[in-house]
Structure 1
Amino acid sequence: MGDRILVFYGSYRRDRMGIRLADYAVAQLQARGNDVELIDAKAIDLPILDRMYKECPPGTAPAALETLAQKIKSADAFVFVTGEYNWGPQPGLKNLTDHFLEEWFWRPAAIVSYSAGRFSGVRSALTWHGILSEMGMVVISSTIGVGGIGKSLDENAKPIGEGGAALERAFPRFADDLAWWTEAAKAQRGRKPPPY
């Protein structure tokens, strides 16, 4: 099996379209031989941040928090699928991410954004770049942006229309970039322990 990749998605809306993009990313990364898991913030439903995982004495973290911490620690790379709410990131995804810190360190992260409109969530993606970098991840330069999400992927996460065709053209390079950084980070961690 290839790399262990977690794909994070954070919309809590009842008619959410971005889950199609998250499912597409999972399927494409699995097709490349990776061990991929979707982490859906709505399904995990962590409370609004009160205590970070590291602030819980050993053995006292809520079960969902402990389970997710172990998944993050064992992952080789992360993909964050984000919509754009009023020029910013989705609060559900941000809340989930903020529960952790050291667990993210020294692994690559990639950003996939979307919106109903033509800007494809790029303002949220830009915001996420800084957030993920601050949290100790290496954010790869390749990104995916899908505008008109409802006209780019059908309900089964299959590409449709011009937007879907553009996504299919862009995804292989994006995945190659993530794979290169994942391999580089794994090799470096194997050679030398992280400095902190």
Structure 2
Amino acid sequence: MSLSFLVLYGSYRSDRMGIRLANYLVSELAGRGHDVELIDAKAIGLPMLDRMYKEFPKGEAPAAMETLAEKIRTADGFVFISGEYNWGVQPGLKNLTDHFLEEWFWRPAAIASYSAGRFSGVRAGTAWHGTLSEMGMVVISSSLAVGPIAQTLDENGEPIGEGGKSLARAFPRFADDLVWWAEAAKAQRAKVKPPY
């Protein structure tokens, strides 16, 4: 079954390394026959959160927010690319995510973390787990942790070195887990209307 996934990335830095991981995951999921789109928080450029999407009168949300809301509502699942800033989450991705709530409900989310160092962003990935659960997503148990990212993926998002080999070995289970939950959630939504 072909599914639709959004890969969400949130770095605003000029020398963005995490885009390598985002591009890798888009390519790998698309290679499995899925419809995959990269959602780049910097490119979308939502303002710092003042009003959530649902707080705008119908039809009056900014165009970028309206477009993204529809993409979120119709996706079968999400992959959050989690860079780590001082043991915490990237503000750009958190800001983009916080503009929406009900749009995320009843679909799975996967977390792929990264950093320049050997801890691979896992502390930020752990922080995202609770946030995404609170926002109505089922967070899959499989995760990816990539670091040092510059020694794992090249500029084109291709695996390199021992880190790249490790990532390539870990990806199938990560993808299978995400797809299993996306298919299960899609089937259940078709069978029974979500309770709220």
Q: TM-score, normalised by structure 1?
A: 0.99
Runs ≥4 in structure 1, deviation > 2 angstroms? none
Cα distance in 1, alignment partners of residues 156 and 61 from structure 2: 36
Give the match for residue 130 of structure 2. Answer: 130
Give the match for residue 102 of structure 2. Answer: 102
Cα distance in 2, alignment partners of residues 74 and 86 from structure 1: 33
Deviation at 1:134, TM superposition (A): 0.2
Give the RMSD, CA atoms, in angstroms.
0.6
Cα distance in 1, alignment partners of residues 20 and 155 from structure 2: 7
Structure 2 residue identity aligned to 1:45? G
The question of 1:2 aligning with 2:2 is answered yes
Cα distance in 2, alignment partners of residues 70 and 188 from structure 1: 20
Deviation at 1:24, TM superposition (A): 0.1
Give the match for residue 166 of structure 1. Answer: 166
Identity %: 74
Q: TM-score, normalised by structure 2?
A: 0.99
Structure 1 residue identity aligned to 2:55? E
Structure 2 residue identity aligned to 1:59? G
The question of 1:27 aligning with 2:21 is answered no
Cα-to-partner distance string for 1:137-192 (whole Å, 9 max, x where unaligned): 00000000001001110011100011111000000010000000001001111110
The question of 1:74 aligning with 2:74 is answered yes
Residue ranges of structure 2 left out of the alignment (5+ in a row): none
Cα distance in 2, alignment partners of residues 190 and 46 from structure 1: 32
Residue ranges of structure 1 left out of the alignment (5+ in a row): none
- Listed as ranges, the matches of 1:10-89 within 5 Å are 10-89=10-89
Cα distance in 2, alignment partners of residues 93 and 83 from structure 1: 9
Cα-to-partner distance string for 1:33-54 (whole Å, 9 max, x where unaligned): 0000000000001000000000
